[in-house]
Amino acid sequence: MARVYNFSAGPAVLPLEVLERAREELTDWHGCGMSVMELSHRSKEFIGIAERAETTLRELLGVPDHYRVLFLQGGATSQFGAVPFNLAGEDDVADYIVTGSWSKKAVAEAKRFCKARVAADSQETGFTDIPDPAGWDLDSKAVYFHFTPNETIGGVEFHFLPETGDTPLVADMSSTILSRPIDVSRFGLIYAGAQKNIGPAGLTLVIVREDLVGIQREGTPRMLEYAPMAEAGSMLNTPPTFSWYMAGLVFEWLRENGGLAAMGERNRAKSQLLYGAIDGSAFYSNPVRPDCRSWMNVPFVLADPELDGRFLEEAGREGLTNLKGHRSVGGMRASIYNAMPMDGVQALVDFMAGFEARYG
C-alpha cells in the first residue's frame, strides 16, 4: 500500500527519507553486523549515535553550552511530576498558566508535590485563547513558571514568550518543539515527548539550564532526578536506544532541509493554507482566537456534525487519515507537524472544498 497523509496528533508522521534511511540501515548498521536495536548502549557505536544526535539537536536549536540535554523515558507526563521534584520543595510555590487539557494535567500533577497554583486560565472562553498577560496573577515567590506553548488538543499556541522576570520559564513543548526557531536562553527548562515532532514514542527530551540541575529535593526517585542523569549522559540505565537513534536521523533531516528557520516558514505557510480554507468557508469553522491558533494542530468542526462520519470515511478513501478530533472536543483535527508536507495540506484543503461542494 502507498503511504497515506497521516494527520495523527501522535505518534505522528515521520519524514519518509528518515524511514527509508532507517530501513537501509536496519539489519546492519554501518557494517557492524547488527541493528541499532541490538547494540549495547555502552558500545562505541551507540555512544557515537547518541552524541551525534545531541550535537545536531544543539546546533538546530542553538542550545547554549550551559544547558544540559537529557534523553529520557516516561513521556512528557513523567515530567509533570519530575519538574516539581527537581525544581521545587514541598512548600514552594509554582505558577501555571492553564490554556487547555495538557496544562490542566500538568498543574494537577504538580499540585501533588508542591504548592502549584493556576496564575491564569482560559476556562471562560472554553480554552480557545490565551488570557491577557496583563491579568496574570503571578506570585513573586514562585520558583518556576510553567506553560504549554502548544495545546495539542485545543489547537492553542503561544506566539510570544511570557515575561516572568527572574522566575525560570518551564515549557511543555511536546507538540511544537523544532517547529520554528526559539531562543533557548529564555527558558529554564524545556521538555517534550518525542512522538509528535522528534521521532518515535519512548523518548522524552529535557533541555535544562545548568543551575537548575542538582537542586532536587530529598527523596526524589533516582530515575526522575536530572543531576545523575546528566552526569551519566542519560545512561543511568538502558536508554530508549532505537528512538534516540531515530530522533538523530530526524535532526539530520531537519538540518538538511534548511533547519528551523526554513521549517518555521513552511509551517507558517501550511497552517495559513488550512486556516484560510476553514475561514473562507461557511461550512467549516475553528473556534480559536486567530492570534492564538496553532501551527501544528488545527481542530475544526463541520456545520453539520451528522456528516462527521462521512467526512472521515471519504477522507480515508483518499488517503487522508487520522482526522478525527480528540474525544473531548469532537469534530476534526489535522495535525500538521514538520514531517507533513505542503502537498498533504493541499490535498486536505482540496478534499474539504470538494466535500463542502457535495454536502454543504
Ligand X SMILES: *Cc1c(COP(=O)(O)O)cnc(C)c1O
Rounded to the nearest whole angstrom, what is the least distance from the CB of residue 12 to ligand X in the complex? 10
Q: Does 75 bind ligand X (CB under 6 A)?
A: yes
Residue carrying C-alpha cell 483535527: 333
DSSP codes joined into one string, 106-150:
HHHHHTTTSEEEEEEE-GGGTS-S---GGG----TT-S-EEE-SE
Complex with ligand X: residue 40 or 328, whichever CB lies closer: 328
- Binding range to ligand X, per CB under 6 A, among 12-20, 70-78, 298-306, 340-348: 70-78
Catalytic pick among 104, 121, 172, 270: 172
Q: Does 77 bind ligand X (CB under 6 A)?
A: yes
User: Can you tell me whether residue 297 is helix, strand or coil?
Assistant: strand
Q: Does 76 bind ligand X (CB under 6 A)?
A: yes
Residue spans of alpha helices (H) in the chain: 16-25, 44-61, 75-87, 101-110, 226-231, 241-256, 259-279, 308-317, 342-359
**C-alpha torsion 126→175→203→29, nearest 10:** 150
- What string marks each residue from 132 to 161 as x (binds ligand X by CB under 6 A) or -? ----------------x---x---------
**228: number of Cβ within 10 Å:** 15
**C-alpha torsion 241→58→161→193, nearest 10:** 0
Annotation marks residue 172 as catalytic: yes
Annotation marks residue 29 as catalytic: no
- Say how far apart CA 306 and CA 256 lie, in whole Å: 44
Rounded to the nearest whole angstrom, what is the least distance from the CB of residue 325 to ligand X in the complex? 14
Q: Which of 193, 339, 157, 158 is nearest to 266 (CA)?
A: 339
Complex with ligand X: residue 66 or 327, whichever CB lies closer: 327
Residue carrying C-alpha cell 495523527: 8
Q: Does 175 bind ligand X (CB under 6 A)?
A: yes
| Binding-site member from 109, 172, 225, 356 for ligand X (CB under 6 A) | 172
- Binding range to ligand X, per CB under 6 A, among 74-82, 139-147, 225-233, 312-320: 74-82
Which cell numbers in the block locate residue 216? 532536587
Catalytic pick among 95, 121, 129, 196: 196
- Binding range to ligand X, per CB under 6 A, among 53-61, 69-77, 83-91, 257-265: 69-77
Annotation marks residue 102 as catalytic: yes
Q: Does 174 bind ligand X (CB under 6 A)?
A: yes
Rounded to the nearest whole angstrom, what is the least distance from the CB of residue 61 to ligand X in the complex? 17
Which cell numbers in the block locate residue 11? 505518534
**C-alpha torsion 175→166→123→300, nearest 10:** -30
Q: Does 199 bind ligand X (CB under 6 A)?
A: no
Catalytic pick among 29, 95, 102, 129: 102
| Binding-site member from 193, 239, 299, 325 for ligand X (CB under 6 A) | 193
Residues annotated as catalytic (active site), given as ranges = 102, 172, 196
Residues contributing to the site for ligand X (CB under 6 A):
10, 75-77, 102, 148, 152, 172, 174-175, 193, 196
